[in-house]
Structure 1
Amino acid sequence: MSRFVDRVTIHVAAGGGGNGCASVHREKFKPLGGPDGGNGGKGGDISLVVDPGVHTLLDFHHRPHARATRGRQGRGSMRHGAAGEDLVLPVPDGTVVLTPEGEVLADLVGPGTTFVAARGGRGGLGNAALASRARRAPGFALLGEPGEYNDLVLELKSVADVGLIGFPSAGKSSLISVLSAAKPKIADYPFTTLAPNLGVVSAGETVFTVADVPGLIPGASGGRGLGLDFLRHIERCAVLVHVVDCATFETDRDPVSDIEAVESELADYTPALTEEHGAPDLAQRPRLVVLNKMDVPDAQEMAELIRPELAERGWRVFEVSTATHEGLRELGFALAEEVERYRAERPAPEPARVIVRPEALGDSGFTVEPDPEADDGFIIRGDRPERWVHQTSFDNDEAVGYLADRLARLGVEEELAKQGAQPGDQVTIGDVTFDWEPTTPAGLAMLHGARGQDKRLDADDRVTKDERRAAMKARRSGAGADEPVAEPISEDRAEDAKGAAGEVDEDEESEW
């Protein structure tokens, strides 16, 4: 049995980037021929693309998780890893992409319209790309970045020119079946229609689409019945048509009260697509009234009673019968006239523009904040510092030293010192926490040592923060005379650190 699904939550995970390779070229009589590790491949993106052949979100209801492939790892001999394959997810025309909080991210209207739901991570650089005057043969490579992971809500808003609204069993499905070639389910009990029906109507040279929106009853905008689920399908309609049952046997109902009840629900409903997204308020849409079931004798009497009252509101009234096809031709041409007027008033679509967001002048690209969960702790936030941490292999001392150089050149060390950070304080970047070592000079990596090592990390003999705390506790307990006390950093040691720093690696790629 087929199902109509117009709202789903999907979980998309783009592919991670491949790791770079740390390799040294070797051949006969040339054991150390220089670094030749290739870069890792980029991870695959996940995109939503409008496909005219897709009419429901049912596939996402059964398979809400989507994952793209990751990039391949780089290899020696300058062989770069292959990029992961992009994953394209077809969606129906009129799909709106929102965050779980309700923020509209994209309105996908028109075949081929594309939205990148999750971007793949960039591949890590191999040691060949990291070589510079300071590091002629790096013994490390950068790791690939993880791909984006997003939870998205997809809502389908039917792209129809005319929306048929009214109480259940008013004859909307019967009307769309005789106006077009649509074959909806028709029965004589309420809520027969459980999903919107779309039909294509031709009136002269005008071709337009008609949607049957079910479930509009008092309280629909608050979740009663089916109205809240399907009110969204009239947001894009150019014309709203009230379909009224003039032959109802319910004594507590009449056509005018039915119209007023539906209008009240339309006024209470707040569309997700505001005027900023090309959807004006529902109150501004033109209305037509269709008095249905004119083949029943009692319906003629009811129509004569309410026609003057409806005419006073400025609405055009049409008397039709879906059984005898009375008045259908006039109704079709009237709808075509309203649709043509709406299309003529709409502004011409503008081509998509490339949006460039330059960095603000003086923006350092990161922020330093006190850590609320740790005393004497700091949190560093920013795209580049967090990305660099993801790219660092912390089991390689040389890679850690390279990260320290990048952070120092960015100005992180200076900003920490300005905010009063002390040696040994905890600093958190992303999901990594480490003790701050301000005496580690940037640029000392040019002092050659074993591959994969950094002399600055091995030459630190400073008393740690834990040792200072232990000494303080011992002094307070009266046993502090025999405990070692942390010594301040001498001026000679500071000068040695400055002299060892040498020049900065200017050739390293700052973008990475």
Structure 2
Amino acid sequence: MTTFVDRVELNVVAGNGGHGCASVHREKFKPLGGPDGGNGGRGGDVILVVDQDVTTLLEYHHSPHRKATNGRPGEGANRSGKDGQDLVLPVPDGTVVLDKKGNVLADLVGQGTTYVAAEGGRGGLGNAALSSARRKAPGFALFGVPGTAGEVVLELKTVADVALVGYPSAGKSSLISVLSAARPKIADYPFTTLVPNLGVVTAGSTVYTIADVPGLIPGASEGRGLGLEFLRHVERCSVLVHVLDTATLESDRDPVTDLDVIEEELKQYGGLDDRPRMVVLNKIDIPDGKELAEMIRPELESRGYRVFEASAVAHTGLKELSFAIAEFVAKARAEKPQEEATRIVIRPKAVDDAGFTVAFDEEEGVYRVRGEKPERWVRQTDFSNDEAVGYLADRLSRLGVEDQLRKAGARAGDGVAIGADDDAVVFDWEPTMMAGAEMLGRRGEDHRLEAPRPAAQRRRDRDAERDDPQKEYDDFRPFQ
């Protein structure tokens, strides 16, 4: 059964914002109570957070679909809906978040580091919040905004100071077991180690972590064997230690060739040329191994490597090796640039940034409006309510959308689409000549959406209302 997973595709869905409430206060002896609809609650976020107790992405391999809770709708009596609960997903230290195209979104290193993978939608305003001196009793409320959704790729890159690299059965796991308190599985057959093993080593005043990278064979960088799955774990390591088997039983192999093969795979993988290297000639407790180590050591040192002879079984040369690695690690840490303190970066909005764009889509034959505000306003509008549609028209007009449509060449009756291709609201544009609450009639209505009456008909209707004695009585009778 799979117990270690270092790459998963995770489907995340944030919570939707709750709808606002359209309500009017009703109480005995208070006929003009006014609007009292509450706002909708905010949807929950999906948050990735580094947890040192988590070492694998196995949980998300089995359950790749995660969703936060929605915000509750608002209610009457000015009661706002409850916010949705954030969904916190613990991930191992060293997790990289990428999109489907492979672009890095976040690199999560360090306990408590967080990243919002999906942002919850904001709640819709109730009619109490929408009321104003000119719109005293709105007959509508705003819908909540849907939460963001999508797929992210999580890749785990082991956070360690030192990486042991080499052929299978070269003795990497054995070295970790004697240098640290780690207890990896050890056997005398290839690919015993199927997951990276981590150990903590103390050498004098230096404490460092060491990891072995399993499955490196010729062609590993191209996906052969297990190498491609675990080469990413080398990326964060500051020092590379080649573990060479001097007592191999395979007639077509020798330590120098093994070193050249592994170096070629690291070169093909890329990005590791600046890592300092050292060589460990392992298994010198075997007579043939000791003899071969003494034979090839001068050649390796002529290449510039620091070479150490060791035996994990006989515990030979381990102290010298651990202190030499500590020296490499201390030097790498000293050369690493100091992390700057967190700075607050203020990016003011450009004075000529309208917050939206208007362009003619020749393929669809419509003028397409794109922008965070117009698209959000459209999603919040109840198109079955004329007053809500009129309120949307007011907001778009104040934002300058109509002015930009005119400049782009739009005329009355032209098609206008607000939003992306697959999620756009399309309508026939009618330029707004008048805007504001003075255009409203009864609650839930907007005269701008009615077909204009001929002038003669408007005069006849006005004369009929003036000459209607019953209407005059209704208008001026005392309140009952």
TM-score (normalizing by structure 2): 0.91
Q: Distance between the aligned counterparts of 1:25 and 1:260, measured in 2?
A: 82
Task: String of CA shifts for 1:37-74, please: whole Å, max 9, x gaps.
Answer: 11111111111111111000101101111111111111
Task: String of CA shifts for 1:217-274, please: whole Å, max 9, x gaps.
Answer: 111111111111100101111111000001112222211111111111111113xxxx
Q: Distance between the aligned counterparts of 1:439 and 1:219, measured in 2?
A: 66
The correspondence for 1:418, drawn from 403, 407, 411, is 407
- 1:152 Cα deviation from its structure 2 partner: 0.6
Q: Which runs of 4+ in 1 moved over 4 A?
A: none
Question: Superposition pairs for residues 1-16 of structure 1, below 5 Å?
Answer: 1=1, 3-16=3-16
Determine the structure 2 residue equivalent to 1:81: 81
- 1:444 Cα deviation from its structure 2 partner: 4.3
Q: Distance between the aligned counterparts of 2:198 and 2:82, measured in 1?
A: 44
Question: Superposition pairs for residues 337-416 of structure 1, below 5 Å?
Answer: 337-375=327-365, 377-416=366-405
Structure 1 residues 448 and 426, CA, compared in 2 at 3 Å: closer, same or farther? closer
| Contact 1:401 1:445 (8 Å CA) reproduced | no
Q: What one-letter code is carried by the residue in structure 1 that aligns with 2:56?
A: T
Question: Superposition pairs for residues 198-237 of structure 1, below 5 Å?
Answer: 198-237=198-237
Q: What one-letter code is carried by the residue in structure 2 that aligns with 1:293?
A: K
- 1:10 Cα deviation from its structure 2 partner: 0.3
Q: What one-letter code is carried by the residue in structure 2 that aligns with 1:387?
A: R
Question: Superposition pairs for residues 29-428 of structure 1, below 5 Å?
Answer: 29-270=29-270, 281-375=271-365, 377-428=366-417
Please tell me the root mean square deviation across aligned C-alpha atoms, in Å: 1.6
Q: What one-letter code is carried by the residue in structure 1 that aligns with 2:187?
A: A
| Contact 2:173 2:185 (8 Å CA) reproduced | yes
1:452 aligns with 2:444: yes
Q: What one-letter code is carried by the residue in structure 2 that aligns with 1:46?
A: V
TM-score (normalizing by structure 1): 0.85
Question: Helix, strand or coil: the match of 1:155?
Answer: strand
Q: Distance between the aligned counterparts of 1:443 and 1:163, measured in 2?
A: 68
Q: Which 5+ residue runs of structure 2 have no aligned equivalent?
A: 456-480
Structure 1 residues 238 and 374, CA, compared in 2 at 3 Å: closer, same or farther? closer
Structure 1 residues 165 and 460, CA, compared in 2 at 3 Å: closer, same or farther? farther
Question: Helix, strand or coil: the match of 1:54?
Answer: coil
Q: Distance between the aligned counterparts of 1:76 and 1:461, measured in 2?
A: 38
| Contact 1:36 1:127 (8 Å CA) reproduced | yes
Q: Distance between the aligned counterparts of 1:58 and 1:324, measured in 2?
A: 37
Q: Which 5+ residue runs of structure 1 have no aligned equivalent?
A: 271-280, 463-488, 490-512
- 1:323 Cα deviation from its structure 2 partner: 1.1
Task: String of CA shifts for 1:139-189, please: whole Å, max 9, x gaps.
Answer: 001111111112111110001111000011111111111111212111222
- 1:347 Cα deviation from its structure 2 partner: 2.7
Structure 1 residues 133 and 253, CA, compared in 2 at 3 Å: closer, same or farther? same
Structure 1 residues 442 and 300, CA, compared in 2 at 3 Å: closer, same or farther? farther
Task: String of CA shifts for 1:264-285, please: whole Å, max 9, x gaps.
Answer: 1111113xxxxxxxxxx41111
Q: What one-letter code is carried by the residue in structure 2 that aligns with 1:423?
A: A
Q: Distance between the aligned counterparts of 1:184 and 1:434, measured in 2?
A: 62
| Contact 1:40 1:123 (8 Å CA) reproduced | yes
| Contact 1:17 1:41 (8 Å CA) reproduced | yes
Q: Distance between the aligned counterparts of 1:51 and 1:253, measured in 2?
A: 42
| Contact 2:415 2:429 (8 Å CA) reproduced | no
Question: Helix, strand or coil: the match of 1:74?
Answer: coil
Q: Distance between the aligned counterparts of 2:58 and 2:68, measured in 1?
A: 20
Question: Helix, strand or coil: the match of 2:293?
Answer: helix
Q: Distance between the aligned counterparts of 2:376 and 2:345, measured in 1?
A: 23
- 1:442 Cα deviation from its structure 2 partner: 4.4
Structure 1 residues 48 and 355, CA, compared in 2 at 3 Å: closer, same or farther? farther
| Contact 1:444 1:456 (8 Å CA) reproduced | no
| Contact 1:409 1:442 (8 Å CA) reproduced | no
Q: Distance between the aligned counterparts of 2:265 and 2:255, measured in 1?
A: 16
Question: Helix, strand or coil: the match of 1:282?
Answer: coil
Q: What one-letter code is carried by the residue in structure 1 that aligns with 2:96?
A: V
Q: Distance between the aligned counterparts of 1:183 and 1:437, measured in 2?
A: 72
- 1:460 Cα deviation from its structure 2 partner: 3.8
Q: Distance between the aligned counterparts of 1:136 and 1:441, measured in 2?
A: 22
Q: Distance between the aligned counterparts of 1:68 and 1:442, measured in 2?
A: 42
Task: String of CA shifts for 1:306-328, please: whole Å, max 9, x gaps.
Answer: 11111112211111111111111
